[in-house]
Amino acid sequence: IGDGAPAANYGYAKSGYSVYEEENERLTESLRTKVSAIKSLSIEIGTEVKNQNKMLSEMESDFESAGGLLGATMGRLKALSRGSQTKLLGYMMLFAFFVFFVLYWVIKLR
């Protein structure tokens, strides 16, 4: 009798332990799956961040070159507008004289 009672209690405790162990292993596997999914997601996010940073640096260099080109163009326009006002006025005067000469000649021929 003394030998049978502890065996029964031990068997009961062992089956309860087994249930908890199986549940723990199931939860551990579920946690492992979730951690693996989070790890792969974080790796994908890291890759995407690297690609986006590369694109941003390329865009930055493109904008810098476009800004330099625009600055050079604006400088040329300023130089052209400063220096060519006298030339522009001279061309307009020559054009006006030409138009008046043509009108005078047309009126004189009639």
Q: Within 13 A of 1's CA, how many CA atoms are on the CB side?
A: 0
How large a percentage of the chain has pLDDT more than 70? 80
Per-residue pLDDT at 16: 64
Q: How confident is the model at residue 3 (pLDDT cuts 50, 70, 90)?
A: very low
Tens of pLDDT, residue by residue over 11-63, are 445 566 788 899 999 999 999 999 999 999 999 999 999 999 999 999 998 88
Per-residue pLDDT at 2: 46
6 within some domain = no
Per-residue pLDDT at 80: 66
Please state the domain count of the chain: 1
As a whole number of angstroms, the distance between CA 21 and CA 15 comes to: 10
**How far lies 91's CA from each of 85, 88, 99, in Å?**
10, 5, 12
Range of the domain at 74: 12-83
107 within some domain = no
Read out DSSP for 69-102? HHHHHHHHHHHHHHHHHHHHHHHHHHHHHHHHHH
